[in-house]
């Protein structure tokens, strides 16, 4: 199944609020996924230590070697995101080496991508969104960065893509443009 970005910012907020009403872990997964543009495989493997030092001082950058590309990715987290993380870590009494997205069944393990997919898929359905999955987080951020900047090369860099054409298709711009043409032009 192909997943799409969430193009309507109100729907992004609605999905986040739905997740938050059910589980702060799941809401944080979505919020951090959208704000970091990380692949779900990298996101799920984050530990407290990726974000904070031993003294719980925020690191200047979240640094992670991407599983798929092997590239080091440095991400500056927004102050609001750091506050959400701090509150979450404090609430769950997480330690330096703990998983951020721990399993409720076995906290010594992180949730897997299938669980993350089910969480997001179900939340999407509840919010009236059909094409939601784990890549939706990445695609949504990339889509909105592109809409704001119209700089496909910047979006390519954020996603670690090699081709503008692939990036446009990945974030759904090509399909949006085709749909708009079909809707607006009649001969």
Asked whether the predicted pLDDT for residue 2 surpasses 90, the reply is no
The reply to whether 187 falls in a domain is no
Degrees, nearest 5: CA angle 109-110-114: 120
The reply to whether 131 falls in a domain is yes
The residues that are catalytic are: 39, 68, 135, 138, 161, 170
Q: Specify the higher pLDDT residue, 121 or 56.
A: 121
Structure tokens given for 73 = 């990715």
Give the distance, in angstroms, between the CA of residue 53 and the centroid of all CA atoms in the same chain.
23
The reply to whether 81 falls in a domain is yes
- E strand residue ranges, the chain: 62-65, 72-75
> Which pLDDT tens digit goes with each residue over 60-87?
999 999 998 888 889 999 999 999 999 9
Q: What does the DSSP 8-state code read for residue 16?
A: H
Structural domain that includes position 36: 9-137
pLDDT at residue number 92: 96
Mean pLDDT within 134-151? 94
Closest CA to 131 of 101, 123, 36, 21: 123
pLDDT at residue number 182: 65
Mean pLDDT within 34-39? 94
The reply to whether 105 falls in a domain is yes
Specify the CATH number for the domain of residue 126: 1.10.443.10
pLDDT at residue number 75: 93
Structural domain total, the chain: 1
The reply to whether 23 falls in a domain is yes
The reply to whether 173 falls in a domain is no
């Amino acid at each position: 199944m192909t997943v799409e970005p969430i193009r309507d910012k109100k729907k992004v907020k609605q999905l986040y609020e739905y997740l938050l009403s059910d589980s702060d872990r799941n809401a944080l997964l979505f919020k951090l996924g959208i704000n970091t543009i990380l692949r779900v495989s990298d996101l799920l493997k984050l530990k407290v230590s990726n974000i904070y030092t031993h003294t719980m001082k925020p690191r200047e950058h979240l640094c992670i070697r991407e599983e798929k590309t092997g590239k080091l990715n440095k991400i500056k987290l927004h102050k609001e995101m750091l506050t959400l993380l701090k509150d979450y870590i404090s609430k769950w009494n997480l330690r330096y080496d703990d998983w951020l997205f721990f399993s409720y069944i076995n906290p010594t393990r992180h949730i897997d991508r299938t669980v993350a997919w089910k969480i997001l898929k179900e939340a999407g359905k509840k919010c009236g969104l059909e094409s939601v999955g784990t890549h939706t987080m990445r695609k949504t951020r990339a889509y909105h960065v592109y809409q704001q900047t119209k700089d496909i090369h910047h979006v390519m860099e954020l996603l670690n893509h090699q081709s503008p054409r692939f990036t446009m298709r990945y974030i759904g711009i090509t399909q949006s443009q085709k749909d708009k043409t079909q809707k607006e032009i009649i001969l």
